[in-house]
């Protein structure tokens, strides 16, 4: 079945257009609710959201959809995606919903669905729900319509769980942390969690107004927290994205540290304590070759998947791994969470910083990355990667990098973009390879 609504991370798009309308959101609620009406118990769905203006509209539409088919609704308000996953399990809910477009601008929004186990839905469930959107679902009898209520202690429950990912004797006293919450879902919980563990907090990106989420801030714009680190003399900077499932770190010098270095650090720490499962780390094809070489040097393997944290998670579960992530900052620690959690990952980094006694610039430089270049080419239609000239450019680039690097070309799962990435030991060859392919794609897309 061809997917019309679901992409690599739920449903996402421009609000009040295409798939992101109140009508579609209500129908998703009805379809997902009907899909998870199993057994004779009173059914329940947990709904969280980030801070986008359109969150109010989509939340109300989904409440209407779920209650109309007989599901009770628990509303969390603005909460990180991993908090929704956690509370779906903790509240014994049948399904969980996060209304968010992650790192996208406020004009976009999305719907992510979780099963009762707190994991994102399988392809089978997504395809079933997608098929159900085409036809009206049976509505509940008048006496069986669901109720909706908002719980006030959701933030406290999540903060308690996050702090529980650290040993009881680990505190952050004496640590000054600059944190950028992207004016998003974690604007209250992340600074509170770090403060409760003893850290001194300098926060930015904690004044959401519905339109400023990810706007020049957060993990996609780490320069802002880097500037804050320098201004206030912080020991480290933490940058989350709009729904707080991504993490980018900045050292005390203002240097940006990506997900590959974070995975290398956490993986090495877990391995040293005998807590790393599977004998390695799961990452995507976008992770730097330097990470693979570093892990191999300390006796660990790197398993690569296609881009998307859902594919990382699938490989982790299949191979018995407990650490995986993406260069972009998704970090999955299965011992503590069922999905990417930037706050939990940040705490692992902060704990290592405290226990090592090292400065962040020393601790976070785990390996020397090889030159890597990623460029995006926007297109308006068609299939540029099937063009003969594009295929020839890719073949030529692969030949030039043979044995000395890697090439990854893929369409974005959320935007009309072709992503072209090359890496290798020779920066000039990498740049030439990317330039030639991008030029061919632009010509084909013209």
- Cite the active site residues: 102
For residues 81 and 148, give the distance between their C-alpha atoms in angstroms, rounded to a whole number: 20
CA distances from 160 to 147, 164, 235 (A): 27, 6, 24
Q: Are 75 and 150 in contact (CB under 8 A)?
A: yes
Distance CA 316, CA 334 (A): 8
308: left (phi over 0), alpha (psi -120 to 50) or beta: left
Strand, helix or coil for residue 347: helix
Rounded-to-integer distance, Cα 235 and Cα 358, Å: 10
Contact 397, 422 (CB under 8 A): yes
Burial class (CB in 10 A: 0-12, 13-18, 19+), 117: exposed
Number of CB atoms found within 10 A of residue 144's CB: 12
Cα–Cα distance measured from residue 248 to residue 259, given in angstroms and rounded to the nearest whole number: 6
Report d(CA 176, CA 354) in Å as an integer.
Answer: 11
Q: Report in angstroms the alpha-carbon separations of 424 from 324, 373, 421, 439.
A: 23, 9, 10, 20
């Amino acid at each position: 079945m061809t997917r019309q609504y679901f992409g690599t991370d739920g449903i996402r798009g421009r609000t009040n257009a295409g798939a992101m309308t109140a009508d579609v959101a209500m129908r998703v609620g009805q379809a997902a609710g009907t899909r998870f009406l199993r057994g004779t118990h009173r059914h329940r769905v947990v709904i969280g959201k980030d801070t986008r203006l359109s969150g109010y509209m989509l939340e109300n539409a989904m409440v209407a959809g779920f209650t109309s088919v007989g599901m009770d609704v628990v509303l969390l308000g603005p909460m990180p995606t991993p908090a929704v996953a956690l509370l779906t399990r903790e509240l014994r809910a049948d399904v969980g919903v996060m209304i968010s477009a992650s790192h996208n601008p406020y004009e976009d929004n999305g719907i992510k669905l979780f099963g009762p186990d707190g994991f994102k839905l399988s392809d089978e469930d997504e395809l079933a729900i997608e098929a159900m959107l085409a036809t009206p679902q049976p509505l509940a009898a008048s006496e069986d319509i669901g109720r909706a209520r908002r719980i006030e202690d959701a933030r406290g429950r999540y903060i308690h769980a996050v702090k529980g990912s650290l040993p009881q004797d680990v505190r952050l006293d004496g640590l000054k942390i600059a944190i950028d919450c992207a004016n998003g879902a974690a604007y209250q919980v992340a600074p509170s969690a770090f403060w409760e563990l003893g850290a001194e907090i300098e926060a930015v990106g904690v004044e959401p107004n519905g339109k400023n989420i990810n706007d020049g801030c957060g993990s996609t714009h780490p320069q802002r927290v880097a500037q804050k680190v320098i201004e206030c003399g912080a020991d480290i900077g933490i940058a989350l994205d709009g729904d707080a499932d991504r993490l980018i770190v900045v050292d005390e010098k203002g240097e940006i540290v990506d997900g590959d270095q974070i995975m290398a650090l956490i993986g090495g720490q877990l391995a040293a304590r005998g807590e790393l499962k599977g004998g390695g780390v799961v990452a995507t094809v976008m992770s730097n070759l330097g990470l693979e070489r570093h892990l191999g040097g300390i006796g660990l393997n790197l398993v690569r998947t296609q881009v998307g944290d859902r594919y990382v998670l699938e490989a982790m579960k299949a191979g018995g791994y407990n650490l995986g992530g993406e260069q972009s900052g998704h970090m999955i620690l299965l011992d503590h969470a069922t999905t990417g959690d930037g706050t939990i990952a940040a705490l692992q980094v902060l704990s290592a910083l405290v226990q090592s006694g090292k400065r962040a610039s020393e601790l976070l430089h785990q390996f020397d990355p090889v030159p890597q270049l990623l460029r995006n080419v926007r297109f308006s239609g068609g299939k540029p990667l099937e063009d003969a000239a594009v295929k020839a450019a890719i073949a030529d680039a692969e030949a030039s990098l043979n044995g000395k690097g890697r090439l990854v070309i893929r369409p974005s799962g959320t935007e009309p973009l072709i992503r072209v990435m090359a890496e290798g030991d020779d920066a000039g060859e990498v740049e030439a390879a990317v330039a030639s392919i991008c030029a061919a794609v632009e010509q084909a897309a013209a």
